[in-house]
Amino acid sequence: MIILLSGAGSAQNAELSASEIYAKAQLALYYQGDDMKASLTMKLVSDGGGVQTRELTMLRIDESDGGDQKYFIYFHEPGDVRRMTFMVHKYAETEDDRWIFVPAVDLVRRISADDKYSSFVGSDFTYEDVSGRNVEEDTHTLLRTETYNGSECHVIQSIPKGSAPYTKQISWIDSTDFIPLKEEYYDAQNELYRMFSADSIQKVTSDGMSYPTVMVRTMDNVKTGHSTVVTYSSVSYDIDLNSDDFSERYMRNPPREWID
C-alpha cells in the first residue's frame, strides 16, 4: 500500500537534496561500521522454481566513510565454486578494481571496468551491485515522498550520466535510516526489467553502536523470471580487519583468521 505524505515526518529531511538522500542510502547499505564480516547464503531461483545454493563469507573494510573501500568474498559451497574468491578495491574518484580467482584453472583474473554490469557468478546481481555505485555517476531527482510497506520513503529517480544497462533507476529510500527498501531498473524501452528489495532489516549492535542491516535482499529479473535471494547471518562490525589482507596475493590463500 502506497500513500502520499506531506506531514512533519517527511519535512524533517526536506532540506536534503536528492543526491544527498541517495548518498545517505549508499552509506546505509554499503558503509555500516568501519569494517564488516558476514556469512552469506545465495539462492539462485529459476523461473521454474529450481534452486541453486551457494555459501560465502564476505569481508569489507572502509578507508573512509563514503570513500574508498575493499571487499573480499570467499565461496565455500557448492563444490564447483569452492575456494573461488572475489575482491573489489572501490574508489570514490575513479573506476573500481575487481579480481576473481578461479581455482579450477588456478587463475586470478582482473575484471575490466566494462564488465561491471555483468552477472556476478551467475546471479541476478551485477559486479557493481556487490559494492555499490558512485553517487556522481547519475543525476538524481526527488519524485515524491510516500509510504512503502509501512515506512515513509523518499522516492528518488536516478538517470545515468554515461553508459549503463538501464536508462533509469527508481529507489524507495526509508526517510529514517535511509535504507533503500526497493529499487526498480528500467531498460531502453522504458520497461521494468530488474527489481531489488530489502526483505528483512535487523539492527546489529557493535561496541554500543546499532547498525540497521539488510539481512535478506532479493534481486528479481522481471523479464526472465529468475531471481537471487541473499541471506546474511553472523554479521559483525568493527572487528579490526587489516587492510593489507585485501590484496591480490591472498586470493589463492585467504587469511585463515577471517575465513573459516
Q: What angle do CA 43, 44, 50 make, to 5 degrees?
A: 105
> Which pLDDT score is estimated for 123?
97
Q: Does 111 have pLDDT greater than 70?
A: yes
- The structural domains of the chain, with segments of one domain joined by +, span 2-247
| Residue 28 φ/ψ, nearest 5 degrees | -65, -35
Each residue of 77-90: pLDDT tens digit?
A: 999 999 999 999 99
Residue pair 69/63 in contact (Cβ under 8 Å)? The answer is yes
DSSP string, 76-103: EESTTTTT-EEEEEE-SSSPPEEEEEET
CATH architecture of the domain 2-247 equals Clam (2.50)
Higher pLDDT, 130 or 1: 130
What is the C-alpha to C-alpha distance for residues 28 and 65, in angstroms, rounded to an integer?
Answer: 10
Predicted confidence band at 91 (pLDDT cuts at 50, 70, 90)?
very high
What is the C-alpha to C-alpha distance for residues 40 and 195, in angstroms, rounded to an integer?
Answer: 20
Each residue of 194-217: pLDDT tens digit?
A: 999 999 999 999 888 999 999 999
What is the C-alpha to C-alpha distance for residues 151 and 154, in angstroms, rounded to an integer?
Answer: 10
Average pLDDT value over all residues in the chain = 92
> Which pLDDT score is estimated for 14?
61
> Which pLDDT score is estimated for 29?
96
CB atoms within 10 A of CB 162: 6
Residue pair 73/58 in contact (Cβ under 8 Å)? The answer is yes
3, β-bridge pairs: 147
> Which pLDDT score is estimated for 92?
85
Q: Tell me the residue type at 194.
A: R
Predicted confidence band at 48 (pLDDT cuts at 50, 70, 90)?
very high
Mean pLDDT across 156-174: 96
> Which pLDDT score is estimated for 12?
53
What is the C-alpha to C-alpha distance for residues 240 and 62, in angstroms, rounded to an integer?
Answer: 11
Mean pLDDT across 38-60: 97
Residue pair 58/213 in contact (Cβ under 8 Å)? The answer is no
